[in-house]
Structure 1
Amino acid sequence: MEIWQADSRDVEAIVSGRHSDPFGFLGLHQINGQWVLRAFIPHADLVTAYTLDGTELGHLFPRHPGGLFEGKVAITERQPIRYHAKNAGGEWDVYDPYSFGPVLGPMDDYYIGEGSHLRLFDKLGAHEMEFEGIHGTHFAVWAPNARRVSVVGPFNDWDGRRNPMRNRSDNGIWEVFIPVLGTGTIYKYEIVGPDGVVLPLKADPFARQSEMRPKTASIVPDPTPFVWTDARYIEERSQKDWRRTPMSIYEVHLGSWRRRPDGGFLTYDQLAEQLVPYAADMGYTHIELLPITEHPFDPSWGYQPTGMYSPTARFGDPAAFARFVDAAHEAGIGIILDWVPAHFPTDAHGLANFDGTALYEHADPRQGYHPDWNTAIYNFGRKEVVSFLVNNALYWLEKFHIDGLRVDAVASMLYLDYSRQPGQWVPNQHGGNENLEAVEFLRRVNTEAYRLHPGTFMIAEESTSWPGVSHPVHTGGLGFGFKWNMGFMNDTLRYMSREAVHRKFHHNDLTFGTVYAFSENFVLPLSHDEVVHGKGSLIEKMPGDDWQQFANLRAYYAFMWGHPGKKLLFMGQEFAQRAEWADGKALDWFLLDAGAHEGVRRLITDLNTAYRQLPALHERDCEPEGFEWVIGNDHANSVFAWLRKAPGADPVLVVSNFTPVPRENYKIPMPHAGKWVERINTDAGWYAGSNTGNQGSVIAHAVKGAHWPAEAELFLPPLSTLYLKYEPD
């Protein structure tokens, strides 16, 4: 055997898929001054090598019947190589991936190793590109404990021996540039674990496009940059302080908002044509989407994602999702994504046991397994895992111009003993139950989001009294912009579900929220969680006969829109959907043919309009100077009244009567004498109410010797809420 010929043990290792360094063996190598070319092309009988300019380098000799070829070539420098292969069935070309250098550079290695790389989505995953004079796709994945990682797909018969990757052993990244492959290529990773066992094929954690379920492969996306038309919107957004800006959010599950006549999903483009103008006409400022990251199981509603960087294929490709966001921005509507960094499912093609070890999850089930959802919990102590998630948040904000992220299940991240009994959890280094690593992750992702994308915001779904959730990181907070007010939702729905005659005994359920209303920047959520799992719809929670149920719901909505805090309402509740939400079918839009349901929809539209137009209702949503009780202790009549205020704006008086008893000549203290216009009356005939009220306005008269400088006598319709706006002379 000549000195340049390969050792038979290396040949066997390549053919069997066990070689530890395929880049050190395959492709071009200079041995004792002689350039040698080695290729593994199964099924080939004859292989001829060429340079890219078509110069023939000669035939390679078969070294193994499995498809290993080798030969000396007369070239002067390393360069890309093309093989022309033949067998009895035909002939084909193969471009040698092993004649290319690495795509990732030393700075990538440094920042990846440090855990500070903020553009991993441009480096890892699959990226179509021109490299060293040829078109192809670069693949890169983190799998530090693997013995071998290969890219597989229809292009190589899903054969993991044919495209093994280069191991950048210093940081656990594997990469390979495969010529010719491009947009639409289906692929997965074949990984050999540290024990030598071939794992189930894995989807790409950084895949930016995925197959439609039940298929689970990743797809090389089109690299053509999306042409956005929202530059003015983005510029205006960057100047906003959302705490002092109207924020009325329409929460939507895209798969069940509407369906096609055949029962199929609407596409992203159809949703842009239908959902966006509907939300705009309703006066909402934002649409919040239940998770649209790729997920295998429809009834998970997206909360068990396997493709954190892929917009789900259920409704179209990534470009179509970008068109949806662009259309929303054109209509002045922001898009919020429900984001799930708290846990991930254990599907075989996903992140669980990714390289044969507990890589993304904690190995200890007391830390890495979530008993509530039968899912894995991210190991926030690994810088690579934190980088994966931080980059994911930044990816959606940058690449898809998303306006905000609502972070799911934050409480489950903050507490080590969340949903666990004594002995089922591991205390932190100080013996406490706080997940210190998750806290640092949340602070990091919030800091980077606000630093890099001015005008965007982060919202926490956090159900406990953890201090400073929406306080800045530099003051010791978690750094979120807003927090869901679960206490408001629970207290007020409990109150509203009671018969009116009993409400006087539970008056504090509606007043208690103002005790802590300004401790955080709150969003008041009537979300999907309140209308599933046997809870019924909001209209069905209301007591009384049909008329009282609708009157209660209208009064409650106006109470909430007048209360300090941003607003969120789940789809269908804006027209009093009667049935509990079901993800497998469309909302009951036919209900809008009934006057009472259409009346609720009209009310929500008018509430959104008033909320946006009247600064007193939104400019101090999160600050105590924007709120003042006028009547907070009329237990006997179940009447509540308060002022909403903002600097330089006319005040608005909100009055709720939560009994079916109309109250004439009800005296209310007022801050100013003069005319107060009835801007909202939930009992109006326009909303299918009984059409009683104050004939459009009331006059407050000056009084002396009282705590307030003026007083007005109001007619309070039954089960109603009124908004009275002061009109100065």
Structure 2
Amino acid sequence: MGTDLLSDFDLHLFSEGHHWHLYNVLGAHPCHQGGTDGVRFSVWAPYASGVSVVGSFNDWDGDTHPLRRNGGYGVWSAFVPGVHPGARYQFAVRTRDGRCQLRGDPMAQQTEHRPGTASVVADRGHFPWGDGDWLNRRAREPWSHRPLSIYELHPGSWRHHGSGRWLNWQELAEQLVPYVLELGFTHIELMPVTEHPLDESWGYQTTGYYAPTARYGSPDDFRALVNACHRAGLGVILDWVPGHFPDDPHGLARFDGTALYEHDDPRLGRHEGWGTLVFNYGRNEVRNFLIGSALFWLDAYHVDGLRVDAVASMLYLDYDRPPGDWLPNLHGGRENLEAIGFLRELNNLCHQRFPGVLMIAEESTSWPGVTHPQETGGLGFDLKWNMGWMHDTLDYLRLDPIFRQYHHDRLTFGLMYAFTEQFLLPLSHDEVVHGKGSLLAKMSGDRWQQRANLRLLLTLQFTYPGAKLLFMGGEFGQWREWSERRELDWHLLADSDHAGFQRLVQDLNRVYAAHPALYLDGCCPETFRWIDCHDSPQSVISFLRQSDEARLVVVFNFTPVPRRGYRIGLPAGGVWRECLNSDSAYYGGSNLGNAYRLEAEDVPWMSQPYSVTLSLPPLAALILEHQP
């Protein structure tokens, strides 16, 4: 049911920035009024001189259905009889200087397929969700007590039809879910599915903060994908972009003729490097719009978390700005105090209203306390991308092995700060585009060495402290860097070496999930201990991962030289077994390894009470498991 005027309570909450169900108020909502079915249209445009709704139901005539202003809150609304779900519409916004602009609905929950820019009246019917058990388990079990291994993908280029057409949501559900489960990942992470005008932006320049892109199907089709994931035991995380928005004329830029969502001063309101505008986090209604969007995806689509993009660009007023081209805060500093308050409120509300969801920060600086509780001054995220680990490790593996001994600190320095935050280790899409090359192509050496180095990288990622994220194509060693214009190079799997990468990722996920030592409270220093981090001349490192249930010793040889008779310290006597060897022929390696059962010798070594001699295969890692 609805009226053409919104309640004063709704409008008051919105003006204060505290309407957490804003998506049920503003926008286009089918309702029944005076015995007639129709749609209530509402939009925030406080500095407009007039607003009307135009669409397929009135021949896009701006004089047919004017909206009325609701008091002093700047919201315009009207009930239009005879309009049904599926109708296309826009708002004709008249500015105070007499111009009329056609604008998409900022709160639209459905849009037409690009290049069209109209909003679509969504059918908010009752989707037959079947994921109640998943949601209940998510709320009960802390994420830090479970393995967290994320497969990141761009839905339009994961796989195509033979004609080159990308898969729709239903086809993705049929093909993606079993594939990801077979590899052993616990979650998928989708690059932004919020509506966006340009394919090449990959969704990071969003125009529809409440609408899943029409590229792959309807809103209910997207719900069906999430539902299929949950029923199969797979979580869904979305990339979400509250840091900036594009200046497309149908979008949010100068929406009512003024800088409504952004700052008027370009020193605050524009990212020149990206050609985008910055949200004004100090305006109540803007904060409410963004937080409402986050809550909407968690509520209406049951998603399990949001990866917040470009957090650093929000935190720093001088981010990517030359001296003199930014304005300090009221204390004279470079910190964006309003953005800090917004992020804290965002995380607090998402956790309060949807227990168990993950809030993940892509934050590329050393900002303190990103994942710390807000009561201790933190931002309250669950996880932060460990960009330092990613850059140091990739830089190291680019080096010719003969020079690695001089850069050993690239492997070891990260443990100086590995437990200062709750980290996620990303090998993401950002590292395989724009001339950076694929993960495999980054590795040094000839083809054999490149493959061995990639196996080393993957084994390091899965045994190092922190949650895991791997971008699509990395799991089978794609040679070409990623492009949104084509599908992954699936034909490579006909090659046994590339199929070997896939088997390695599958087994790494299996070992990771089977050993709480690798994931249980993985952000706590008690789970990690160096055995030896000083053997730079031979480029070998070794460490212990431990929990109450198990102990694992991991040894890495970062040179192509096999090292026989290498003695390694062990924390306990008895039997150890080699539970994974990245040099196995099964993965495409040379198959140098050790006996299945290894008896620890009562020989103290490397500050450990026991030891064993090993054959270290070239450019490879060994995982040894203690057998109590």
TM-score of the two chains, using structure 2 as the length reference: 0.99
Aligned residue number for residue 115 of structure 1: 17
CA-to-aligned-CA distance 1:228-263 (integer Å, 9 cap, x gap): 100000000112222232111111001100011111
Of 145, 150, 163, the match for 2:47 = 145
1:45-60 equivalence runs, <5 A: none
| CA distance in 1 between partners of 2:417 and 2:161 (Å) | 45
Query: Is 1:713 aligned to residue 607 of structure 2?
Result: no
1:409 and 1:179 mapped to 2: Cα distance?
Answer: 42
Residue correspondence of structure 1 range 81-230 to structure 2 within 5 A: 101-199=3-101, 201-230=102-131
2-structure distance, mates of 1:164, 1:102: 11
Unmatched 5+ stretches in structure 2? none
- Runs of 4+ in structure 1 off by over 3 angstroms are 100-103, 703-707
* Correspondence 1:339 to 2:248: no
Partner of 1:598: 499
Could you tell me which amino acid in structure 2 is paired with residue 700 of structure 1?
A
**2:175 pairs with one of 266, 274, 295:** 274
What is the letter of the counterpart of residue 669 of structure 1? G
CA contact (8 A) 2:3 2:40 kept: no
Aligned-partner Cα distance in 1 for 2:24–2:302: 16
Q: Counterparts in 2 of 1:441-520, with a 5 A limit?
A: 441-520=342-421
Q: Aligned AA for 1:335?
A: V
CA distance in 2, matches of 1:418, 1:370: 9
CA contact (8 A) 2:31 2:39 kept: yes
Amino acid at match of 1:198: C
State the distance in 2 between where 1:224 and 1:241 align: 32
* Alignment match, 1:247: 148
- 3-state SS, counterpart of residue 629 of structure 1: strand
Corresponding residue for 1:422? Answer: 323
Whole-Å separation in 1 of the counterparts to 2:596 and 2:439:
29
Deviations along 1:346-383, one digit per CA (max 9) or x if unpaired, are 00000001001100010000000111110111011100
**1:690 partnered with 2:586:** no
Is the CA contact 2:4–2:40 (under 8 Å) kept in the aligned structure 1? Answer: no
Alignment match, 2:558: 658
Distance of aligned partners of 1:155 and 1:721 in 2 relative to their CA distance in 1, 3 Å threshold: same
Instruction: Give the aligned residue type for 2:25.
Output: K
Give the residue type in structure 1 aligned to 2:476: F
Cα distance between partner residues in 2 of 1:508 and 1:600: 27
Contact 2:17–2:285, Cα closer than 8 Å, also in 1: yes
- How far the C-alpha of 1:138 sits from its partner, in A, is 0.8
Report the equivalent of 1:350: 251
Task: Quote the residue 2:574 is aligned against.
Answer: 674
Output the amino acid matched with 1:546.
R
Equivalent runs, 1:387-406 vs 2, <5 Å: 387-406=288-307
Residue in structure 2 matched with residue 622 of structure 1 by the alignment: 523
Distance between the aligned counterparts of 1:217 and 1:164, measured in 2? Answer: 18
* 1:133-169, Cα deviation, whole Å (9 max, x unpaired): 3211111110000111111012111111110101013
Q: Distance in 2 between matches of 1:362 and 1:677?
A: 61
Q: Shift of residue 697 of structure 1?
A: 3.1
Distance 1:699 1:494 in 2: 37
Per-residue CA distance 1:641-675 (angstroms, 9 max, x = gap)? 001111x2111111100011111111111111011
Q: Secondary structure at the match of 2:533?
A: strand
**2:432 aligned to 504, 509, 531, which one?**
531
Equivalent in the alignment of 1:15: none
CA distance in structure 1 between the partners assigned to 2:373 and 2:97 by the alignment: 46
Structure showing greater Rg: 1
2:289 alignment partner, SS class: helix
Q: CA deviation at 1:425?
A: 0.3
Report the alpha carbon displacement of residue 106 of structure 1 after superposing the two structures with TM: 2.0
- Conserved 8 A contact 1:620-1:645: no
The answer on whether the counterparts of 1:144 and 1:169 sit within 8 Å (CA) in structure 2 is no
CA contact (8 A) 1:657 1:717 kept: yes
Q: Is 1:727 aligned to 2:624, yes or no?
A: no
Alpha-carbon distance in structure 2 between the residues aligned to 1:705 and 1:608:
31
Can you list the C-alpha shifts for 1:263-283, whole angstroms capped at 9, x where unaligned? 111000000000111111100
In structure 1, distance between residues paired with 2:164 and 2:364: 36
- The residue matched to 1:287 in structure 2 has which SS? strand
Instruction: Report deviation, 1:132.
Output: 3.3
Give SS of 1:141's match: strand
The Cα shift of 1:707 comes to: 3.2
Alpha-carbon separation, structure 2, partners of 1:657 and 1:703: 22
Change (3 A) 1:558 1:111: same
Q: 1:436 to 1:688 in 2, by over 3 A?
A: same
CA distance in 2, matches of 1:517, 1:704: 28
Aligned counterpart, 1:90: none
Q: CA deviation at 1:705?
A: 9.3
The Cα shift of 1:695 comes to 2.5
Aligned partners of 2:436, 2:490: CA distance in 1, in Å?
21
Calculate percent identity across the aligned residue pairs.
Answer: 52
Q: Which amino acid aligns with 1:323?
A: A
Q: Matched residue of 1:702: which SS? A: coil
- Cα distance between partner residues in 2 of 1:432 and 1:723: 48
- In the alignment of these two chains, the number of paired residues is 628
Residue by residue, what CA displacement relative to the aligned partner does 1:92-123 show, whole Å, maximum 9, x if unpaired? xxxxxxxx953421211221122111000011
How far apart in 1 are the matches of 2:322 and 2:274? 16
Q: 1:694 to 1:156 in 2, by over 3 A?
A: same
Q: How far apart are 1:492 and its partner, in Å? A: 0.4
> What pairs up with 1:307-326 in 2 under 5 angstroms?
307-326=208-227
Task: Tell me the SS of whatever aligns to 1:398.
Answer: helix
Q: 1: distance between equivalents of 2:80 and 2:241? A: 32
C-alpha contact 1:672 1:702 (8 A) present in aligned 2: no
Shift of residue 474, structure 1, vs aligned partner:
1.4
Pick the aligned partner of 1:578 from 479, 486, 496.
Answer: 479
Task: For 1:500, give the aligned amino acid.
Answer: P
Question: Partner letter of residue 19 of structure 2?
Answer: H
The question of whether the paired residues in 1 share the 8 Å contact of 2:568 and 2:606 is answered with: no
TM-score by length of 1: 0.85
One-letter identity of the residue aligned with 2:555: V
1:675, 1:700 within 8 Å by CA — same for their partners in 2? yes
Deviations 1:608-638 (A, max 9, x none): 1110111111103100000000010000111
Task: Give the Å deviation of 1:503.
Answer: 0.4
Seen in structure 2, the aligned counterparts of structure 1 residues 614 and 107 have a Cα distance that, compared at 3 Å, is same
Cα 1:547–1:101 change in 2 (3 A) is closer
Q: SS of the residue aligned with 1:155?
A: coil
Matched residues in 2 for 1:685 and 1:561: separation? Answer: 20
Q: Distance in 2 between matches of 1:634 and 1:704?
A: 17
Structure 2 residue aligned with 1:369 = 270
Contact 1:243 1:521 survives alignment (8 Å): no
CA-to-partner distance for each residue in 1:276-317, whole Å, 9 max, x for gaps?
111111000110001010011000001101111110000000
Q: 1:697–1:724: 8 Å Cα contact kept in structure 2?
A: no
